[in-house]
């Protein structure tokens, strides 16, 4: 934690910048394409906008937090923990996910055409399991290897509890995508919508993988472990928020056209 | 790296400022002119907006990174690496290009009138070769002359691999512009659209030239080499993103009018 290579310092800076630039750019995309969709699909775009704003702010803060923590060593050949500084922390991410996760899960309901009592049921299930998944993971990361109060047992226990909620999320999202797919049987948007299922499984599963990266601090060294973790988080963030939202938007635009919507 | 002239310090500050100011200004241009184009051409404007936002953020960070790295020397006649600072790094650019390059390549498909299976094929080819071109260049720049772990062989090898992908990009873009030109045979926009081909060749080829500038550190001195590199990157950024996008927008507006679109 006290000394990392120039490459590790730079790779983390670069990928955090990629992260917030992607969120900022996609924010404008979702605002500018919202009215290509008929009113019933627009809540999905609005929720993408909500996610982009909160993820942009969070990732920008992560970037500042990283930059503030380290300075070039006196010998100019490594980065070292700055004096009178603050530690880099992933905890920002978790509390940001309290906003993002329910929004991401709920936005797909509008595109899948789920309404009435089923909508309310999924909304409640997604909100409850999503929030519990995040809060338990948040508690867990305070014990991760490399921290002053490292406790591997508690870290893995809370991570395990969080993963149980994650499995519920996967069960619900699989049902939602199957139901949505049935609702758009005759639409050209159907294959794109169905592609969201494997994307979701891969993108969201990167998060628990990133959570366990600190387990490899001894094998990889602190720098490599933390850089891998940040790269994984960024790939997961861009896939699960931006690419996911863009696909939902494209499907919404196709459905809107097929249903006779002319655009505004 | 430790000591650069006042002129070099200032020129780099100035051109980075020119860069992000151009992106910020063009951002508003693309937003405000989007609805001069009929809906089928608007995705090109939206993708220009996406590129402007991400390039603006990146170039603003590059500017801050440059400003933070250097301070006036004790004798007031040069700039020297500040104490407890972070090194200036071009790596931000590369990861930002992961966003920009696919967007720039895809946006022209909407103006060229390429649809259906051909659209999907080009989209995939552009995305894959563009991303591989950037990632291999990103790996390469970690070995560039002047860095702590300088390795000229690896630097040139990765640069070469990146250039191979670049040649594929040039082949695809040439085809797209030829097909687009055939699609707008009777349009007044055709000569403007065709001008994009030489612009693209010149603007995009500046990037590999900028990549090899650190080779001349011994002949030119570190300061002049790095200043030339930043000037080249800025000229390339403005040409390949702003001027390119403006030309696509003008062609879209002409085509929209010729096709009877009245404006919104």
List pLDDT tens digits, range B5-64: 999 999 999 999 999 999 999 999 999 999 999 999 999 999 999 999 999 999 999 999
Helix residue ranges per DSSP H, A113-221: 116-141, 152-183, 190-212, 217-220
Q: How far is CA A82 from the centre of its chain?
A: 29
Whether residue A28 is contained in a domain is answered as yes
Q: How confident is the model at residue B264 (pLDDT cuts 50, 70, 90)?
A: low
Residue A1 has pLDDT above 80, yes or no: no
Whether residue B97 is contained in a domain is answered as yes
List pLDDT tens digits, range A4-28: 999 999 999 999 999 999 999 999 9
For helices B244-258 and B42-69, give the axis angle rounded to 10 degrees.
Answer: 170
Flag if B54 and A13 touch (Cβ within 8 Å).
no
List pLDDT tens digits, range B54-85: 999 999 999 999 999 999 999 999 999 998 88
Compare all CA atoms of chain A with the CA of B34 and give the residue at the minimum distance.
A32
The mean pLDDT of A172-180, rounded to a whole number, is 97
Flag if A21 and B149 touch (Cβ within 8 Å).
no
Spatial CA neighbour of A128 closest among A107, A155, A98, A154? A98
Whether residue B83 is contained in a domain is answered as yes
pLDDT given at position A107: 97
The mean pLDDT of B111-126, rounded to a whole number, is 96
Residue A72 has pLDDT above 80, yes or no: yes
Give me the residues paired with residue B14 across strands.
Answer: none
Whether residue A263 is contained in a domain is answered as no
pLDDT given at position B84: 85
Q: Distance (Å, rounded) from C-alpha A197 to C-alpha A106? A: 15
Look at chain A and report how many structural domains it folds into. 1
- What's the token pair of residue B56? 């603006």
Give me the residues paired with residue B71 across strands.
Answer: B80
Flag if B149 and A20 touch (Cβ within 8 Å).
no
The mean pLDDT of B127-152, rounded to a whole number, is 93
Flag if B50 and A72 touch (Cβ within 8 Å).
no
pLDDT given at position B149: 85
* Residue-averaged pLDDT of chain A: 94
Minimal Cα–Cα distance from A91 to chain B, Å? 24
pLDDT given at position A148: 85
List pLDDT tens digits, range B88-103: 988 899 999 999 999 9
Residue pair B213/B228 in contact by the 8 Å Cβ criterion = yes
A125 touches chain B (CB under 8 A): no
The mean pLDDT of A36-56, rounded to a whole number, is 97
Flag if B57 and A21 touch (Cβ within 8 Å).
yes
Q: Distance (Å, rounded) from C-alpha A102 to C-alpha A128? A: 8
Q: Distance (Å, rounded) from C-alpha B147 to C-alpha B223? A: 14
pLDDT given at position A49: 98
B142 touches chain A (CB under 8 A): yes
Residue B1 has pLDDT above 70, yes or no: no
Whether residue A33 is contained in a domain is answered as yes
On the CB side of A156, CA atoms within 13 Å amount to 4
* Residue-averaged pLDDT of chain B: 95
CB < 8 Å from B in window 65-94 of A = 67, 70-72, 76-77, 79, 82-83
* Radius of gyration for chain A, computed over Cα atoms and rounded to the nearest angstrom: 20
User: Which residues of chain A make contact with B147, given a CB cutoff of 8 A?
Assistant: 6
Query: pTM of the prediction?
Result: 0.94
Q: How confident is the model at residue A2 (pLDDT cuts 50, 70, 90)?
A: confident
Q: Distance (Å, rounded) from C-alpha A230 to C-alpha A236? A: 10
B23 touches chain A (CB under 8 A): no
Whether residue A38 is contained in a domain is answered as yes
Write out the residue range of the structural domain in which residue A173 sits: 3-258
User: Which residues of chain A make contact with B54, given a CB cutoff of 8 A?
Assistant: 21-22, 24-25
The mean pLDDT of A203-230, rounded to a whole number, is 92
Minimal Cα–Cα distance from B75 to chain A, Å? 21
User: What is the CATH classification number for the domain harbouring B199?
Assistant: 1.20.1070.10
Percent of chain A with pLDDT over 70: 99
Residue corresponding to tokens 């995040």: A134
Flag if B99 and A25 touch (Cβ within 8 Å).
yes
The mean pLDDT of B230-255, rounded to a whole number, is 97
List pLDDT tens digits, range A116-150: 999 999 999 999 999 999 999 999 999 998 888 89
Q: How confident is the model at residue A83 (pLDDT cuts 50, 70, 90)?
A: confident
The mean pLDDT of A38-45, rounded to a whole number, is 97
Q: Distance (Å, rounded) from C-alpha B55 to C-alpha B45? A: 15
Q: How confident is the model at residue A258 (pLDDT cuts 50, 70, 90)?
A: very high
- What's the token pair of residue B180? 């687009």
Q: ipTM score of the complex?
A: 0.93
Residue B243 has pLDDT above 80, yes or no: yes
Query: What per-residue string of b and e applies to B90-125 under the rule 16 or more CB within 10 Å gives b?
Result: bbbbbbbbbbbbbbbbbbbbbbbebeeeeeeebeeb
B98 touches chain A (CB under 8 A): yes
pLDDT given at position A193: 98
List pLDDT tens digits, range B154-202: 999 999 999 999 999 999 999 999 999 999 999 999 999 999 999 999 9
Q: Give the best residue of A18, A45, A63 to mutate against chain B (max B CB count within 10 A).
A: A18
- Give SS3 for A40: coil
Tell how strand A3-4 and strand B70-72 pair up.
Answer: unpaired
B5 touches chain A (CB under 8 A): no
- Give SS3 for A4: strand
Q: Distance (Å, rounded) from C-alpha B4 to C-alpha B80? A: 6
- Of B46, B61, B147, Cβ closest to residue A32: B46
pLDDT given at position B201: 98
- Give SS3 for A192: helix
Whether residue A100 is contained in a domain is answered as yes
Q: Give the best residue of B92, B117, B131, B154 to mutate against chain A (max A CB count within 10 A).
A: B92
Whether residue A246 is contained in a domain is answered as yes
pLDDT given at position B2: 78
- Comparing B30 with A81, the larger pLDDT belongs to B30
The mean pLDDT of A191-211, rounded to a whole number, is 96
Residue A160 has pLDDT above 80, yes or no: yes
């Amino acid at each position: 934690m006290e000394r990392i290579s120039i490459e590790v310092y730079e790779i983390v800076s670069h990928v955090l910048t990629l992260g917030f630039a992607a969120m900022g750019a996609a924010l404008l995309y979702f605002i500018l394409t919202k009215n290509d969709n008929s009113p019933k699909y627009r809540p999905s775009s609005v929720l993408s906008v909500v996610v982009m704003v909160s993820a942009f702010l969070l990732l920008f803060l992560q970037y500042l937090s990283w930059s503030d923590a380290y300075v070039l060593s006196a010998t100019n050949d490594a980065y070292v923990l700055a004096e009178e500084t603050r530690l880099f922390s992933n905890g920002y991410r978790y509390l940001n996910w309290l906003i993002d996760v329910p929004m991401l899960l709920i936005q797909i309901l509008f595109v899948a055409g789920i309404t009435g009592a089923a909508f309310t049921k999924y909304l409640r299930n997604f909100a409850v399991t999503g929030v519990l998944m995040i809060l338990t993971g948040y508690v867990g990361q305070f014990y991760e290897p490399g921290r002053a109060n490292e406790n591997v047992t508690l870290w893995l226990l809370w991570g395990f509890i969080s993963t149980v909620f994650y499995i519920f999320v996967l069960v619900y999202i699989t049902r939602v995508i199957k139901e949505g797919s049935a609702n758009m049987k005759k639409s050209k948007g159907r294959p794109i919508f169905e592609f969201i299922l494997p994307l979701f499984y891969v993108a969201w599963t990167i998060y628990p993988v990133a959570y366990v990266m600190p387990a490899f601090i001894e094998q990889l060294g602190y720098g490599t472990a933390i850089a891998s973790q940040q790269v994984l988080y960024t790939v997961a963030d861009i896939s699960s928020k931006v690419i996911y939202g863009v696909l939902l938007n494209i499907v919404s635009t196709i459905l809107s056209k097929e249903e006779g919507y002319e655009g505004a």
